[in-house]
Structure 1
Amino acid sequence: MSLQAFSDYLVLEKAYSKHTVKAYVRDIEMFQYFLDEHHSKIEISKANYSLIRQWVVELVNSGISNMTINRKISSLNAYFKFLMKVGDITSNSLKQHKALKISKKVQIPFSEQEMLSVIENSIKIVDFESARNQLIIELFYSTGIRRIELVNIKTSDVDFSNQQLKVLGKRNKERYIPLLPSTIRIISTYLEYRENLPTIKDSEMLFLTQKGIKIYEMLVYRIINKYFSEASSKAKCSPHVLRHSFATHLLNQGADLNAVKELLGHTSLAATQVYTHNSIAELKKVYAKSHPRNKR
């Protein structure tokens, strides 16, 4: 069974994004390359668990992180399940596999002071790019959307009358996020500058480059990194840290976990709970201040 058939299956039946499908195919091709190099070009469908373990050992020895290795094995597992589904194999060689252990790293969000410093002091609106950059930061912090979600926002996704934003999340799942009045004003300001661009090629997209084409993910990363590196001493200043800050600050202010889950576009509460550890310090303050036993 060709990888193209598997790729088509992921796109058409599983509704995975093109980026995700490319990652899956790349991981499987890497395993096939390993087989070609070390085991006389054995087909993946005929690879037993012993061969897969040899690949895992090679990946570990190459210095690749356990998280990345687990992702590659997950891609291979999805391929085996597909081969079983179409009848090419009768058993999954990864059925008994256990994922490698991953050390949990605490993602430290930006503080509220750092956020306010950037939003209120770092950007002076003088042209198209400064208006766009301000809106990018504002949307990340006020909605918690992912970088790819921001890049793919269309002008028609902004509902000014209902003050909400339609977002296309993972697996093409739509969700609606309320917009603050301040965010609506910043969007309006940006659109005024956007209309004056000399050329607009991707007119349906909200965020554009100076050349009038759809903005790309690496540029968004550079924008966030530029402004927050100046305001924060954190080693990592990325769009994901802004998403993390959005969730943490909401929870610190008493927001319901299920509500934050819906805003983030998570399918399970477990995915949202990773943000709660940063709220413990705030909870301790409230606990110490409010509990009757602590007043004696």
Structure 2
Amino acid sequence: MSGAKEVSSLEAPVEAWLRALQTRQVSAHTLAAYRRDIVKIQRFLAESGCTDWAELDRDRLTRFISPLLGTNALLPASVQRLLSSLRSLYDWLNAQGLVSHNPARTFSIKRPPRELPHVMESDLINALLDAPAPEETEAARRWKRDRAVMELLYSSGLRVSELSHVRFEDYDASGGLVTVLGKGRKTRVVPVGRKAREAIADWLPVRAHYARPDSERWLFLNTRGDRLGERSIQRALEEQALRAGIPQHLHPHLLRHCFASHLLESSQDLRAVQELLGHASISTTQIYTHLDFGHLSRVYDQAHPRARKQ
């Protein structure tokens, strides 16, 4: 039996499913992740002599998943994502009449406890963002850009991919708003604080220095006049944290965590923080409620009849 033929007969429905997702404007990043996940199980089925997705049942799925967890070949979170990809594929196969079951629908693994996000104290963030500019000319230019990037990440809770793709027309300086394209290609509009607006205004003359005639209208550019990519933002933050003497590893998502935690601590408005972060589910946002035990204790002491001091 030809392995190439087996893979091909399994591959055709997958390609059709991915094309269908593409018409629904699923992001290229998500499509690539789906493809990587499904290719793993596609190979397993081919090696097992299967030529049709209808042959995958719960027993075969268990034989595929168990070694991944037992040998730590994949983290539990990665296995969960793989199962999610498989559920999506089988929902589509079902709708097309190609299968009559979904082996991944009731298949579950024990979820590991979710780690609390790390946050920086506001004093450390102030030390980072209020650090003096370098004296050397080019370093000072990069500092103006990097400070604007950090201020916007912390001010508006953006994901690094969202910030990297902000264009001029997405930023409303007078209204103090920025429009971003988030996960699931969902657009949201979030406020931009005063300090971030000032830092962006300080960066724009430098941006004009970096821009080329053919540069696109990205808000943040690298020194060659191209869009400032996500990895470049990561390196820039590491450099600025080192220069400011920050003892904590600084990465873009940490500033998003700080935005959420500090805002929730001050406002106690979980639903508003969910909207600002662009979380589809409030359960994702609720993790930040575990970070301020002091506030919860004070609320309990003040509100519970048996906790009030006489």
Change (3 A) 1:137 1:33: same
Are 1:148 and 2:153 counterparts?
Answer: no
Aligned counterparts of 2:298 and 2:126: Cα–Cα separation in 1: 22
SS at match of 2:292: helix
Which residue in 1 is equivalent to 2:293?
Answer: 280
Which of 58, 71, 88 in structure 1 is aligned with 2:67? Answer: 58
Which residue in 1 is equivalent to 2:6?
Answer: none
Are 1:242 and 2:252 counterparts?
Answer: no
Aligned counterparts of 1:100 and 1:232: Cα–Cα separation in 2: 37
- Which shifted more, 76-85 or 200-209? 200-209
Q: Aligned-residue CA RMSD in angstroms?
A: 2.5
Aligned counterparts of 2:102 and 2:300: Cα–Cα separation in 1: 50
Supply the AA of the counterpart residue of 1:210: T
- The answer (yes or no) to whether the contact 1:158–1:164 under 8 Å persists in 2 is yes
What does 1:88-237 align with in structure 2 at a 5 Å threshold?
88-121=98-131, 123-124=133-134, 126=137, 127-197=140-210, 199=212, 201-228=214-241, 231-234=245-248, 236-237=249-250
Q: CA deviation at 1:41?
A: 4.8
Seq. identity, %:
28
SS at match of 1:60: helix
Supply the AA of the counterpart residue of 1:18: A
Which of 261, 264, 267 in structure 1 is aligned with 2:274? Answer: 261
Q: CA deviation at 1:295?
A: 6.1
- The answer (yes or no) to whether the contact 1:16–1:170 under 8 Å persists in 2 is no
SS at match of 2:293: helix
Change (3 A) 1:202 1:274: farther
After superposition, give the CA deviation of every residue in 1:268-295 in whole Å (9 maximum; x if it has no partner).
2222111111122244357669999766
What does 1:2-41 align with in structure 2 at a 5 Å threshold?
2-13=13-24, 15-37=25-47, 39-41=48-50
* TM-score scaled by length of structure 1: 0.89
Change (3 A) 1:80 1:198: closer
Gaps of 5+ in 2: 1-11
* TM-score scaled by length of structure 2: 0.85
Which residue in 1 is equivalent to 2:85?
Answer: 75
Q: CA deviation at 1:118?
A: 0.7
After superposition, give the CA deviation of every residue in 1:106-127 in whole Å (9 maximum; x if it has no partner).
2221111111111112654854
After superposition, give the CA deviation of every residue in 1:77-104 in whole Å (9 maximum; x if it has no partner).
1111111122211111223212332122
Supply the AA of the counterpart residue of 1:220: I
- The answer (yes or no) to whether the contact 2:154–2:255 under 8 Å persists in 1 is yes
Bigger radius of gyration, 1 or 2? 2
Supply the AA of the counterpart residue of 2:21: L
Are 1:47 and 2:68 counterparts?
Answer: no
SS at match of 1:99: coil
- The answer (yes or no) to whether the contact 2:211–2:221 under 8 Å persists in 1 is no
Aligned counterparts of 2:278 and 2:262: Cα–Cα separation in 1: 17
- The answer (yes or no) to whether the contact 1:144–1:242 under 8 Å persists in 2 is yes
Aligned counterparts of 2:210 and 2:127: Cα–Cα separation in 1: 29
After superposition, give the CA deviation of every residue in 1:60-79 in whole Å (9 maximum; x if it has no partner).
13312111111111111111
Aligned counterparts of 1:213 and 1:5: Cα–Cα separation in 2: 35
- The answer (yes or no) to whether the contact 2:210–2:221 under 8 Å persists in 1 is no
